Structure 1
Amino acid sequence: MRNSSGRFFWKLFIGNVLLLTVAVGSCLGLILYLFDRTYDRELAGHLRTLATTIREGLNLPLDEAHAPDLDRLAKSIGAGGPQDLRITIILRDGKVVGESSADPDGMQNHADRPEIRQALVHGWGESTRWSHSVSRRMKYAAVRVGDADRPLGVIRVAVEAGNILARTRSTRQIALLIGAVGVLAAAILALGLARLWSRPIARVTQVADTLSRGDLSARAPVVGSDMIALLATALNRMRDRLARQLEAATRQRRTLEFLVAQLTEGVIVAGPDGRILLINPAAAALLRLPLSFTGGGEPIKALTVESCVPQHDLQQMLQARSRGERPPVEERRLDIKGPDGEVSVLARASDMVLPAFGTFTGGGSAAEDTIDRADGAPGRLLVLTDITELTRTLRVKTDFVANASHELRTPLAAVRGAIETLLTMDRSAEPEAAAKMLGVIDRHTRRLSDLVGDLLELSRIESAATQFEPRRIQVREIVDELHDRFAEKLAHKRIGWNVELPGAAEILYVNPHLLNLVCDNLLDNAIKFTPEGGRVTLSVARRNGAMVITVSDTGCGIPVADQQRVFERFYQVGAARSGPHRGTGLGLAIVRHAVAAMGGAVQLESEPGKWTRVRVTLPTGDTDEIDRSQARGERG
């Protein structure tokens, strides 16, 4: 805007300078013209007087017979006058008989010269023209000799026109100097006027520019009561009105932006032209869009639905259609793949009416200001809900019911088949077959008991009502109990038992029941899937303020594709599902939930065919506070 003000100042200044320069130049030109005209008249009169004097002093007949005498007379008169003075004696037929600066015999007939014709007719004549005789521009004055009825000839006197200009040069220089001073004074005056006139306009323009950039703190100064003052007053009134409107609009916009940004559901609004009007951060996150689509980058109104919503189903839901072509509320479920995995989204679209803004009409106060709105334009509202966790929960529930039904049905079917066989057979005649059926019943009822026990244990761990208080535990005692419980299995498979227990890790503050669940299931799996002659290692150590329990074995390992799923309920690796060491499929699920209940984390590493390592990291907690809590419990 400063450049614009500068341009206006220079335009005003140059315009004033040109106007004043033209005025001064016109006056100077008029003065010089009048001066030249006056000087020319005075010179013509002087030349005419000189020619008349020569005519009056002429004592020779003006005829061709006295041509030599007339020529000598002309040359003698011309020699006695100024250097550029030229005297010419011409007969009435135009023949030159005397010339002060040339040979008359070599000169052309002068009957057609304008000053000669004027003199023969009117008694005298004058002209300024180019002379072919002397090849210069000359000023001529001629007088007639004789009566008008019977003229004898013409006496002509001339001076060089260039010398006339030389004589007036000093006068012209003075006039030009005066004109230059006048132009300089005009420029100074124009500069002052331009500053005087442009400064208030520049101030008002600067305030208008500041307002146009959204800064409503500026006010135009009001000085006097001229048109600029009235303009400044009107600008200030407009500023006050805009400030009120902007404050109200800003409050509404910020409230709306805050609410939309805080929504956990994604919201997308499309206009009737298929362009996006609004995308909140939740929608951008669900659709894996860059944050610039929420308004941080290019303007939202410049984006079409196709350019920022890659899913074709959502594009169709956001397209405007006439009423009756679709239901009032459209609902679809879709899965969106991203770098962090797949997200399940429930999309619901419906028609909406967008506000149409008309012209502002206000009387000056906030209460009187109103917006003239036309009928709203049709738009589309799309709400996106992240149902990934709900979908996963439903899938887990469905899988749990299916797996539990399957795991319960299999032993029940075996028990039922064995019982039916016992009922139909002669047990006294086939004692071995009866004993085998009883063994089947015993094995599968034990499996049912283990399965029900694991399910109850898992349900108890997941229950929010169950409280698992930590207690002071001697790690050495836990390790010895574990060895005693699994000694028979270790000896049966000739598996080596290794314990790593530094002195700093002898005390642990956890819930003993949960710790036993974790260790029992991990050691049971390690022994179960370690071949004869292998090794199982249990290590306990403190690292970075946490207690780390590691169970490792030299067993068959777990394939990479199964390592992320072995902690799911009823999930078993293929070899375990069909092998002789089939379990309930809930052991590692119990481990995961028990570790989570203790505020820890579990990590599995395995190399198929070589080894498996499960690392459980538990927080140590505030041991002093735990001891004080236990002491209060014992006193109570």
Structure 2
Amino acid sequence: MKIVNDLNIRKQADELGVSIWQAPSFLFLLMGIIVVVAMTVVYFASMNYGSPEILIFSEFAVVIIIFTIGTFIIRNVEYMAAANKIKSEFISMASHQLKTPIAELSWASELLISKYKKGLGKKQLDLIGEISKANAHMSRLVGDLLDVARLDRGALLLAQDKINIVNIVKEVHEADLPLATAMGVKVDVIIPGSLPEIIADKRRIKVAIDNLISNAIKYTADGGYVEVRLEKDGDKINFCVKDNGIGIPEKQQDKVFEKFFRSDNSAKYKIEGTGLGLYIVKNYVEQSGGKIWFKSIENVGSSFCFSLPIVNKK
């Protein structure tokens, strides 16, 4: 299936935002056809003509054609790399510019609640609460965009903290309970009595855990079920989130961890998202020395798991 997708020239051109004639798969296919034709011509020329000049000319023509197409491919790759760099720089710049007004809005909201709460009515307090939630969401999105820009540049540095993952899972579960209640989804957390500490970036692993749990809740219908599980597995800790939600179409599962990926059925059920969450989670986990994997069946459910190394006591 992946080979078929790779040979889908129209699809590749659309994804890269280029014309069919600039799609790498088309150019490589064209080069292959030309090489085969040229080699065939050279072969028959050598069979029917004994003149070395004709053979030299034929081989020279083949080299020129291959060089021309190769140069065109390289220029296209350079163009796409430059465009990607500009995009990453713009995202980084825009995100940095947004941090200040978001911080000011957060400060103003907190000031209103802490200093002027007595003079505000219930409706006004509710509105400030909604502003605070929207601001927190925007702050999280800006943080994600900044990390994506750093990942694109290979400049994301993760801390190597000794952390208690049990406490983090409990904190995230508590924070996500209002979402679960609003969605009508039951969330169970299964944790053994005690687990050793792990090595990871505390803030970012907390974001990764929140991404997986909140995703499971959002992609599960009213009356659904989400199970969060922690367990020790040799020299690592496994974290898993399992749901009985909408699942991911099989034909799209190879793109799950790609940047900006949204499955077709997420649009069908009008589930909001940026398509950055799983891309970020995968990079956080792998750069922390862990592994991530998933299983999913459309209309049955999904399970996403990752493992992280425990602290070496030696």
Paired residues of 1:510 and 1:598 also in contact (CA < 8 A): yes
Cα distance, 1:498–1:323 mapped onto 2, change above 3 Å = closer
Specify the SS of the correspondent of 1:564. helix
> 1:461: how far off?
4.5
Q: Say which of 264, 288, 293 aligns to 1:603.
A: 293
- After TM superposition, the structure 1 = structure 2 runs for residues 610-629 of structure 1, keeping only pairs within 5 Å, are 610-620=300-310, 622-624=312-314
Give, in angstroms, the shift of residue 621 of structure 1: 5.3
Q: List, as ranges, runs of 4+ consecutive aligned residues in structure 1 with deviation greater than 6 Å.
A: 441-448
Q: Which residue of 1 aligns with 2:259?
A: 569
1:589 matched to 2:279: yes
Following superposition of structure 1 onto structure 2, how do residues 142-161 of structure 1 map, counting pairs within 5 Å?
none
Residues in 1 aligned to 2:68 and 2:305: alpha-carbon distance in whole angstroms = 39
How far residue 599 of structure 1 moved from its aligned partner, in angstroms, is: 1.8
- Asked whether the equivalents of residues 547 and 620 of structure 1 are also in contact (C-alpha less than 8 Å), the reply is yes
Are residues 449 and 544 of structure 1, via their aligned partners in 2, closer, same or farther at CA, if it must alter by over 3 Å? closer
Q: Distance in 2 between matches of 1:515 and 1:442?
A: 23
Displacement after TM superposition at 1:594 (Å): 1.0
> What does the per-residue CA deviation read over 1:92-139, in whole Å, with 9 as the maximum and x for residues that have no partner?
xxxxxxxxxxxxxxxxxxxxxxxxxxxxxxxxxxxxxxxxxxxxxxxx
Residue of structure 1 equivalent to 2:190: 500
Q: Distance in 1 between matches of 2:82 and 2:311?
A: 32
- Aligned residues of 2:198 and 2:308 also touching (Cα < 8 A): no
- Please name the residue that 1:509 is paired with: 199
Instruction: Give the alignment's Cα RMSD to 1 decimal.
Output: 4.2
Q: Deviations over 1:264-307 (max 9, x none)?
A: xxxxxxxxxxxxxxxxxxxxxxx9xxxxxxxxxxxxxxxxxxxx
Does the aligned pair in 2 maintain the 1:454–1:586 contact within 8 Å?
A: yes
Greater fraction of residues in strand: 1
Question: What is the aligned partner in structure 2 of residue 314 from structure 1?
Answer: 35
Within 5 Å, give how 1:519-534 maps onto structure 2.
519-534=209-224
Equivalent position SS for 1:509? strand
* Between structures 1 and 2, the one with greater helix share: 2
Aligned to 2:123: none
Q: Secondary structure at the match of 1:547?
A: strand
Find the residue that maps to 2:188 and give its secondary structure.
strand
2:66 partner SS:
strand
Q: Which amino acid aligns with 2:310?
A: T
**1:605 CA drift (Å):** 0.5
Question: How much has 1:583 moved relative to structure 2?
Answer: 0.8
Aligned partners of 1:579 and 1:487: how far apart in 2?
21
1:486 pairs with 2:207: no
- Aligned residue identity for 1:605: K
> Where does structure 2 lack aligned partners over 5 or more consecutive residues?
1-27, 43-54, 95-130
- 1:548 corresponds in structure 2 to 238
Distance apart, 1:488 and its partner CA: 0.8
Cα contact 1:472–1:509 (8 A) shared by 2 = yes
Q: Counterparts of 1:67-216 in structure 2 under 5 Å?
A: none
Aligned partners of 2:197 and 2:132: how far apart in 1?
41
Deviation of 1:314 after TM superposition, in Å, equals 2.4
Query: Whole-Å Cα distance in 1 between the matches of residues 303 and 295 of structure 2?
Result: 5
1:586 deviates by 0.7
SS in 2 for 1:482: helix
2-side partners of 1:598 and 1:529: how far apart? 27
Match of 1:331 among 66, 71, 76: 66
- Structure 2 counterpart SS, 1:322: helix
Contact 2:198 2:311 in 1 (8 A): no
Displacement after TM superposition at 1:456 (Å): 0.9
Letter in 2 for 1:330: I
Query: Are 1:453 and 2:139 counterparts?
Result: no
1:355-374 matched pairs, under 5 angstroms: none
Secondary structure of the residue that 1:505 maps to in structure 2?
Answer: coil
Q: Aligned pairs, how many?
A: 231
Aligned equivalents of 2:165, 2:60: Cα separation in 1: 71
Work out the CA distance in 1 between the residues paired with 2:141 and 2:268: 17
**Structure 2 letter corresponding to 1:607:** I
Tell me, yes or no, if the aligned pair for 1:598 and 1:618 is still in contact at 8 Å: yes
Q: Partners in 1 of 2:66 and 2:59 — Cα distance?
A: 16
Paired position in structure 2 for 1:475: 165
Superimposed CA distance per residue, residues 208-238 of structure 1 (whole angstroms, 9 cap, x where no aligned partner): xxxxxxxxxxxxxxxxxxxxxxxxxxxxxxx
Residue identity opposite 1:453 in structure 2: G
Cα distance in 2, alignment partners of residues 392 and 496 from structure 1: 49
CA distances 1:236-269 after superposition (whole Å, capped 9, x unpaired): xxxxxxxxxxxxxxxxxxxxxxxxxxxxxxxxxx
State the Cα deviation string for residues 450-490 of structure 1 (Å, max 9, x = none): 54332112223555444323222222211221122101111
Q: How far is the alpha carbon of 1:330 from its aligned partner? A: 3.3
Conservation of the 8 A alpha-carbon contact between 2:179 and 2:217: yes
Distance 1:514 1:577 in 2: 27
**Corresponding residue number in structure 2 for 1:140:** none
Structure 1 match to 2:122: none
Deviation at 1:597, TM superposition (A): 1.2
Which amino acid letter does the alignment assign opposite residue 552 of structure 1?
Answer: K
**Please, which moves more after superposition, 465-474 or 446-455?**
446-455
For residues 477 and 443 of structure 1, what CA distance do their matches in structure 2 show?
Answer: 23
Structure 2 CA distance, aligned partners of 1:525 and 1:347?
Answer: 44
| Pair 483,447 (structure 1): closer, same or farther in 2 beyond 3 Å | closer
Percent of residue pairs bearing the same amino acid type: 24
Unmatched segments (≥5 aa) in structure 1:
1-286, 288-309, 335-345, 349-384, 409-440, 625-636
Which of 1 and 2 has higher RCO (CA within 8 Å, sep 6+)? 2
The alignment partner of 2:65 has SS state of strand
Which secondary structure does the structure 1 equivalent of 2:159 belong to? coil
The DSSP-based 3-state class of the residue aligned with 2:163 is strand
CA distance in 1, matches of 2:227, 2:241: 6
Which amino acid is the alignment partner of residue 480 of structure 1?
A: K
Deviation of 1:498 (Å): 1.3
The residue aligned with 2:226 is: 536
